[in-house]
Amino acid sequence: MISHKLIIAEKPSVAQSIASVLGATQKQDGYMEGNGYLVSWCVGHLVELVHADQYDEKYAKWNYGDLPIIPDDWKYTVASGKQKQFKILKDLMHDDRVSSIVCATDAGREGELIFRFVYHQAHCKKPIERLWISSMEDSAIAKGFENLRPGQEYEKLYASALCRAQADWLVGINATRLFSVLYNATLNVGRVQSPTLAMLVQRHLQIANFQKEKYFHAHIDCDGIDAISGKITERSEAERIQTACHGGQAVVTAITKEQKTVNPPKLYDLTTLQREANRLYGFTAQQTLDYTQSLYEKKLVTYPRTDSNYITDDMTDSTVEIITEIFSLFPFANAANVAINIKNLVNNSKVTDHHAIIPTMEITKADLDSIPATEKSILTLISMRLLCAVSEKHSYEAVTATFDCSGYAFTAKGKTTLQDGWKSIETAYKNTVKTAKDNTAVQNKADNALPPLLEQQVFDEIGSSVSEHFTNPPKSYTEDTLLSAMENADSPDVELHKDAEKKGLGTPATRAAVIEKLVTSGFMERKNKQLLPTEKGINLIAILPDTIKSAKLTAEWENALTEIAQGRKAADDFMNGITAMVKELVQTHTSATNEGKALFQTERICVGKCPRCGSNVYEGKKNFYCSNKECSFTMWKNDKFFSSKKKELTARIAETLLNSGKILVKGLYSEKKDTKYDAYILLADTGGKYVNYKLEFLKRRK
């Protein structure tokens, strides 16, 4: 019997690319076969942690007394609707032909988790090898299979992924249930999403509470040079200076010149790419990730979920070749005069799991016009950044001139470009993106050089004026600035030094999903490019303790996960800390505050009296429920009795049933006869787990 390797990718498209390179061309049900290989895929997360009620049926209801829920032994299950593909993988893993398993899921923390969950759920014991690549090019795949690594080398990475999953489960399940029960509202709490929401709310409150202050500047016009005074708090003082200077004489008292350089930007990691795409195109972080992932699977760019801005020295020659090809592919590149400084990009010590995002040589073979416009925008952006990164420095001379007029000091500033360098490429690129109005504004801002000036130079008959200004509140977060704040969570409003350790909220791979979850959960909303907390989000943060909403604390947890992956921290220590925090949370918060209760009080609609205990029955999101917590009476809106007849249990129907015991409903559907009919529906409650209903047909007239 020929020994086979079973290769498990994350997606069918990736599996097909791998199979093509390896010669596994025979299509089977759920996998491909050939040349000693079986190639299959996971379809994302095939196996997941079970819901709380799988540990004990009592957890199906949310009760404070059951908290905290901390499993002794974690349980896993196959994701709903994915049983078929899991069975295919399990059967392949136990196939006698298979001697070893190659983990070919995405080369990162979550990819490792996806594979390991399937591997352990299938009770597989066969040896694991790891494919670790940053490009889907055929040559990269082939080279990756020549250098497969033992699976044991990635045990620590799996440990960090498992800690992340279990920590999110513990915090999410316990904190969500705790605060939902205390405040009688569905309040989704998450280890990363809650601190992210807290930053949004904090910024919202800063803006709401901002008190703008008026201030003034006095100006003098020296033959077209606008020289400005310092900030003046009173209009009368500014006008007094204006009057004193008008028609008078101004003297240049000092001229300072300073040559400055701006180094080329680094290559894109995922977060900086997402931020730039949001600024230029308005793409959300999730959209940018999706577009870049699609380009990766089309073999046009390297692996997107990276936090590195550099390449390794072994990539030097191939990257120079890619750069050379880019000049002929994109019109904006023709305007550039680039001396390729490839050394700017190379730093082995700054590349851990994956190098920076760059185009691949496949772009020279692809029909770029056939690529969706959104993906082409991202591909062009990545290509532009590569050219900028290898270009010369941008240099300019900054000039500051100080004037004296009637004993008052005024300042004029300007700058002159000495060498465009990488800015010429960026400008040429942005000219293809921005509108004519935008370009004019950029040009006017750039053309602000001062005319030649000499110290003690005199200007006569000068003009003067006063301008009014107001202090500005902080700006609302955009996708761009929120990503930056998440990345630099220890100091969200400060760009950290390039060598500073980033502890950030989430990872480049997860931040987009966190933002989307806040939107879909109703805690945050998008207004144009702004990200704003909703009233629900503001109220949630108001009642959460610092242990849950502290950006600094959560960033430290995320940093701990990185240390686990690097072998510098024990997984047990991290999980013990999370468990202790969850226990303390439940023990500390035993009741809702009166202020908090007021935030979540909603007007409940009473539809009738409970036939079992006589208490009020209220309408919920999915049901009509008895207000007596000891009573189990519930009328579900999606009850099969109604759905099978293509009717919904509405508030009107529920109210009539509770008050009158029956209601005439027209247009009921008969599946047996494929017709519609009219009949009375009767409430026939027997006191069991589910409420029963009966039909009473209309009497036919003789």
Question: CA-CA distances (angstroms) from residue 67 to 53, 58, 62, 232?
Answer: 13, 11, 9, 59
pLDDT band for position 353 (50/70/90)? confident
Question: Amino acid letter at 421?
Answer: G
Contact 227, 250 (CB under 8 A): yes
Determine the Cα–Cα distance for residues 592 and 542; give it in Å rounded to an integer. 12
**What DSSP string runs through 566-633?**
TTSS-HHHHHHHHHHHHHHHHHH--S--HHHHHHT---PPEEEE-TTT--EEEE-SSEEEES-TT---
Determine the Cα–Cα distance for residues 106 and 360; give it in Å rounded to an integer. 18
pTM, whole model, 2 decimals?
0.80
pLDDT band for position 1 (50/70/90)? low
Contact 403, 219 (CB under 8 A): no
Considering only 186-195, 420-429, 593-602, 615-624, which range has the smallest mean pLDDT? Answer: 593-602
Task: Give the residue among 137, 64, 276, 207 at the shortest CA–CA distance from 531.
Answer: 207
Question: CA-CA distances (angstroms) from residue 76 to 118, 124, 510?
Answer: 10, 15, 22
Determine the Cα–Cα distance for residues 269 and 511; give it in Å rounded to an integer. 13
| 169 burial type by CB count under 10 A (0-12 exposed, 13-18 middle, 19+ buried) | buried
> In this structure, what are the phi and psi dihedrals at residue 429, rounded to the nearest 5 degrees?
-65, -50
Nearest 5°: the CA angle 94, 98, 102 is 100
Determine the Cα–Cα distance for residues 459 and 262; give it in Å rounded to an integer. 34
Q: What is the pLDDT of residues 386-416, one digit of tens each?
A: 999 999 999 999 999 999 999 999 999 999 9
Determine the Cα–Cα distance for residues 678 and 663; give it in Å rounded to an integer. 11
Helix H or strand E segment including 695: strand 693-697
pLDDT band for position 371 (50/70/90)? very high
Domain borders along the chain are: 4-46+82-147, 165-208+477-595, 214-263+394-470, 282-389, 606-697
Q: How many CA atoms lie less than 13 Å away from 270 in the CB half-sphere? A: 26
**pLDDT for 443:** 46
Q: How many CA atoms lie less than 13 Å away from 27 in the CB half-sphere? A: 2
Task: Give the residue among 532, 537, 529, 533 at the shortest CA–CA distance from 478.
Answer: 529
Q: Could you say which architecture CATH assigns to the domain 165-208+477-595? A: Orthogonal Bundle (1.10)
CATH of domain 4-46+82-147: 3.40.50.140
> In this structure, what are the phi and psi dihedrals at residue 415, rounded to the nearest 5 degrees?
-145, 150
pLDDT at position 642 over 90: yes
**pLDDT for 689:** 82
Q: What is the pLDDT of residues 16-26, one digit of tens each?
A: 999 999 999 99
**pLDDT for 22:** 96
pLDDT at position 119 over 50: yes
Supply the Cα-derived Rg of the chain in whole angstroms. 33
Q: Could you say which architecture CATH assigns to the domain 282-389? A: Orthogonal Bundle (1.10)
Considering only 237-246, 314-323, 649-658, which range has the smallest mean pLDDT? Answer: 314-323
- Average pLDDT of the chain, as a whole number: 91
**pLDDT for 490:** 63
Determine the Cα–Cα distance for residues 511 and 517; give it in Å rounded to an integer. 10
Q: How many CB atoms lie within 10 A of CB 445?
A: 8
The catalytic position among 31, 158, 303, 310 is: 303
Determine the Cα–Cα distance for residues 595 and 587; give it in Å rounded to an integer. 20
Q: What is the pLDDT of residues 457-486, one digit of tens each?
A: 999 999 999 999 999 999 999 999 999 999
Contact 245, 462 (CB under 8 A): yes
**pLDDT for 502:** 54
Residue 544's SS3 state is coil
Backbone CA torsion sign across 224, 230, 235, 239:
negative
Task: Give the residue among 356, 408, 358, 419 at the shortest CA–CA distance from 383.
Answer: 358
Helix H or strand E segment including 638: none
Contact 267, 315 (CB under 8 A): no
Query: Is 76 marked active-site?
Result: no
pLDDT at position 536 over 60: yes
pLDDT at position 532 over 90: yes
Tokens in use for 289? 């990730």
pLDDT band for position 503 (50/70/90)? low
**pLDDT for 436:** 40
- Terminal-to-terminal C-alpha distance of the chain: 80
Determine the Cα–Cα distance for residues 42 and 46; give it in Å rounded to an integer. 6
**pLDDT for 491:** 52
Q: What is the pLDDT of residues 576-606, one digit of tens each?
A: 999 999 999 999 999 988 888 888 877 678 8
pLDDT at position 247 over 70: yes
Tokens in use for 514? 């966190």
pLDDT at position 174 over 80: yes
β-pair type (76-78, 47-49): antiparallel
pLDDT at position 192 over 50: yes
Mean pLDDT of 637-661: 92
Q: Tell me the fold of 214-263+394-470.
A: Topoisomerase I; domain 3 (2.70.20)
**pLDDT for 386:** 95
pLDDT band for position 336 (50/70/90)? low
Mean pLDDT of 661-675: 91
Contact 145, 35 (CB under 8 A): no
Lay out the sheet containing 26-28: strands in order across.
26-28, 31-34, 37-41, 4-9, 98-104, 128-130, 149-150
Determine the Cα–Cα distance for residues 3 and 561; give it in Å rounded to an integer. 37
Where would I find the beta strands (DSSP E) of 434-504?
458-459, 463-470
Helix H or strand E segment including 37: strand 37-41
**pLDDT for 24:** 95
pLDDT band for position 496 (50/70/90)? very low
Q: What is the pLDDT of residues 556-582, one digit of tens each?
A: 888 899 899 999 999 999 999 999 999
